[in-house]
Structure 1
Amino acid sequence: MSGTNMNALVLDPATRIVTLETISLPSPGPFELLVRAEAISLNPIDPLYVQHPLATTKRTIGSDFAGTVVSLGNAVPKSTSISIGDRVSGFLQGACSVNERPGAFSEYLVIPWDLVWKIPESVSIEQAAGVSLVALTAAQSIFYRLGLRTPFEYDEETALAEHPEWANNRKGTHAEPINVFIYGSSTAVGLFAAQMIRVSAKVTGQKFRLFGAASKARWEMLKAEPYGYEHLVDYRDDGWAERVVELTGSERMHYAYDCISEGSSVEKVSSLLAGGGKAAIVRSRAGGAWTAGHLPVEPIYGAVWEGLGEEVEYQGFTIPRSPAARDFAVQFYRWLSSAVGSAIKPVPIRLMPGGLEKVVQDGFHLLGSGKMEDRDVTRAEEWMRPVSAEKLVYKL
């Protein structure tokens, strides 16, 4: 940074090229914070919307960040616990929409004051950078959509007014134990989802049995704390769904969460459900990311961007502004400020060499264009090994 300018990774959607550019330093609005970004974390959506731009104008890309508060807007409530110099983490939308909003891959950024969480002293800035988007994605599915009990209060009444079809998720109780299946257990979202289920179990005192699909190389980790899987199957095995049925017998799954939602996974995951069971997914049917035949239930989809509280044009449809989803994100991040490092553990990170200038040539190369089969793992450098059960993080 120099004076009133800073470095940022900027997408030209016409050429699908991202370059490191010098742009103007942003100024916080009345209810915003100016944050000096010190670490960023990559998500598959970051390179996806470089290769397949939704944006039509040049803008800063990227989602996850962690950094230090530099200044507060003049209308930020005096009662907030956030002060200049605090370490905070959050995420922005970047180029993942046609909306004119910049992303997080820059030296400085602005964000609403209540859509960040304070980083506890026991958590490093690099660990914190890998939490915000994927943890909220998991929490939205496990708590907000599927209806498992939360360790914090939020405006559930407004959420059900917006989505009355979710009411059945909140009704009744299951005979213990409650069976939950997670496909993509070793993804970052899956790692947080397992922890959310464990947290819900502590809140309710109910017993949960956690089943998952992941590479055998990650089974030992997934069976240990803080995840606690009881049974795992290898997602590479064509008969993994049948194996899960064998493990559960006639009980089947009360809840299922597909953290990949590609190809036949949604159909297979849905086939595991017991009568009245519920499933959540991370990719939409409307966006064309998955297809399935006759499912026992329609999987529940919702974009993490709802938590930002703005209307979003995304994957060919419009996601309306949701006050309830924003309130959930605010309350969840407030809880994270004390929970990360204790009740919730950050996922493992891979600290990548270099800074912003290396994101595209290394990080995006590793993640491919968004789908698992598109990832290129042919380079020989140690830090370019295949990504599994970790987040790629760059220090700025």
Structure 2
Amino acid sequence: MRALILNSELQTATVQRVSAPRPGPGEVLIRVHSIALNPVDALYVAHPLGATGRIVGSDFSGTVVEVAHDPASPTDLAPSQRVAGFLQGACSINPRPGAFAEYLVCPTDLVWRVPDAVSFSEAAAVSLCALTAAQAVFYRLGLSAPFSWDTSSGDQREEVAHGDAAAAGLVRFFIYGASTSVGLYAAQLVRRAAEASGREVQLIGAASKARFNMLRAAPYAYDALVDYRDPDWPSQVREMAGGEGVDFGYDCISEGSTVEKVTGTLREGGKVAVVRSREGRAWAAENLATEPIYGAVWEGLGADVQYYGNMLVRASREARTFAVAFYRWLSDGGQLEANPVRRMPGGLDQVVSDGFALLGSGLVGNRDGNRSEEWMRPISAEKLVYDI
């Protein structure tokens, strides 16, 4: 098969022919139809963690070719079914499989069935970012989820207790980076949390004014929005939240001063989740009233993940159980609309030269878009998707 292969010495990736994988017990072989790009895919090609020869890439959609059944992990997957999911690609030191290839294998419980009304391109844009948002909204911040998961493993952290963590009454939730891929899913999931709990939610977001109309409309339905370019936006958020601040904040950028500012919108006792850890040094803030809650989406894989130095994401059975429950909810018709996608030309051959060039290899604020082709316009409220 053809696959996008990491060359860590040259800090790039190239399309090569390699042996197609075979599924082991409890795994499914998938013919990939579409892939969606995430910033980590470009980041860890430009700044490699893995060794040369790794298949890169995370998000995918496709059709089932073969299911290797495991009596201990029953599944209803069958050949020809339309599915989507995510792998880790070359985003760790320890070897992990990647998705940017014509075929891949994935655990049967970490894919979800794609409805006929959803295209492969749309489905490819869901798995990683939607799970990231779900982990923050339900698993870390503790809002009521529209599905249940087993919390008996004992590794659940105190600050992410299952169930709605807000006091009775109106719940005020603020999302910084509301038009990012994660932010778009987070808004929808906050709405699902309100439906699950029966509580009223005030949803406030920060984004570019150019995206306000989109964010006010379904399925996001923001109650109030602030311009992230306005230096006074934190005080505006507190004022919109009745003057006392919000119950929950979610920083979908987590760079520079954003974490400090988002934390400053919280009421006393409020909580904030972030998408980057302190150890990553994308942001720094001292003397915060509340420590931001961080967790990597890779926890959902249920395996140890090693980064630079001593940075280690420990295997968590509960985080894996949560991911399985979330994807089961999607399979069963969970109400989540796929993000807008930009279908990029060229397939695997153009991922590095075009897609990774648009994403950049560092902070969101450092992205550059100087190419003249229409599909190379700067990214805003879209996922880059390639058909394979």
- TM-score after normalising by structure 1: 0.94
Show the counterpart of 2:364: 372
State the shift of 1:75 in Å. 1.9
SS at match of 1:197: helix
The match for 2:42 among 41, 44, 47 is 47
SS at match of 2:189: helix
- In the alignment, is residue 64 of structure 1 matched against residue 56 of structure 2? no
Alpha-carbon distance in 2 for matches of 1:246, 1:79: 51
Q: How many residues align?
A: 387
Show the counterpart of 1:3: none
The match for 1:106 among 101, 106, 120 is 101
Mapping 1:277-296, distance limit 5 Å:
277-296=270-289
SS at match of 1:339: coil
Deviates more, 1:299-308 or 1:97-106: 97-106
Q: Is the 8 A contact 2:139 2:160 kept in 1?
A: no
Q: Is the 8 A contact 2:26 2:73 kept in 1?
A: no
State the shift of 1:79 in Å. 4.7
Deviation per CA, 1:21-59, whole angstroms, max 9, x where unpaired? 111110111111110100000001110111111113420
Alpha-carbon distance in 1 for matches of 2:165, 2:332: 31
Show the counterpart of 2:208: 215
Deviation per CA, 1:315-336, whole angstroms, max 9, x where unpaired? 5411111000000000100001
Identify unmatched segments of 5+ residues in structure 1.
1-5
Deviation per CA, 1:228-253, whole angstroms, max 9, x where unpaired? 11111111122211221232242311
Residues 284 and 315 of structure 1: CA distance in aligned 2, closer, same or farther (over 3 Å): farther
Alpha-carbon distance in 2 for matches of 1:236, 1:218: 13
Paired residue type of 2:93: V
The match for 2:325 among 311, 324, 331 is 331
- In the alignment, is residue 357 of structure 1 matched against residue 349 of structure 2? yes
Alpha-carbon distance in 1 for matches of 2:176, 2:384: 21
Mapping 1:222-371, distance limit 5 Å:
222-316=215-309, 317-339=311-333, 343-371=335-363
Residues 250 and 333 of structure 1: CA distance in aligned 2, closer, same or farther (over 3 Å): same
SS at match of 1:85: coil
Alpha-carbon distance in 2 for matches of 1:114, 1:97: 22
Residues 382 and 76 of structure 1: CA distance in aligned 2, closer, same or farther (over 3 Å): farther
State the shift of 1:338 in Å. 2.7
Alpha-carbon distance in 2 for matches of 1:223, 1:300: 27
Alpha-carbon distance in 1 for matches of 2:301, 2:73: 22
RMSD: 1.6
Paired residue type of 1:392: L
SS at match of 2:191: helix
Deviates more, 1:347-356 or 1:309-318: 309-318
- TM-score after normalising by structure 2: 0.96
The match for 2:68 among 65, 69, 73 is 73
State the shift of 1:172 in Å. 6.3
Alpha-carbon distance in 1 for matches of 2:353, 2:324: 34
Paired residue type of 1:380: S
Q: Is the 8 A contact 1:9 1:18 kept in 2?
A: yes
- In the alignment, is residue 135 of structure 1 matched against residue 130 of structure 2? yes
SS at match of 1:162: coil
State the shift of 1:360 in Å. 0.7
Alpha-carbon distance in 1 for matches of 2:165, 2:24: 45
Deviates more, 1:302-311 or 1:237-246: 237-246
Q: Is the 8 A contact 1:76 1:113 kept in 2?
A: no
State the shift of 1:98 in Å. 0.5
Paired residue type of 1:108: Y
State the shift of 1:155 in Å. 1.6
Identical residues among aligned pairs (%): 55
- In the alignment, is residue 115 of structure 1 matched against residue 107 of structure 2? no
Deviates more, 1:52-61 or 1:205-214: 52-61
The match for 2:143 among 143, 148, 169 is 148
Alpha-carbon distance in 1 for matches of 2:53, 2:62: 24
Deviates more, 1:309-318 or 1:121-130: 309-318
Show the counterpart of 2:160: 166
Paired residue type of 1:125: F
Alpha-carbon distance in 1 for matches of 2:133, 2:189: 8
Deviates more, 1:169-178 or 1:245-254: 169-178
SS at match of 1:59: coil
Show the counterpart of 2:197: 204
Alpha-carbon distance in 2 for matches of 1:279, 1:315: 25
Deviation per CA, 1:195-243, whole angstroms, max 9, x where unpaired? 0000011111100000010000000010111101111111112221122
Superposition misfits of 4+ residues, deviation over 4 angstroms: 76-79, 169-173
Alpha-carbon distance in 2 for matches of 1:178, 1:141: 16
- In the alignment, is residue 394 of structure 1 matched against residue 378 of structure 2? no
Deviates more, 1:297-306 or 1:242-251: 242-251
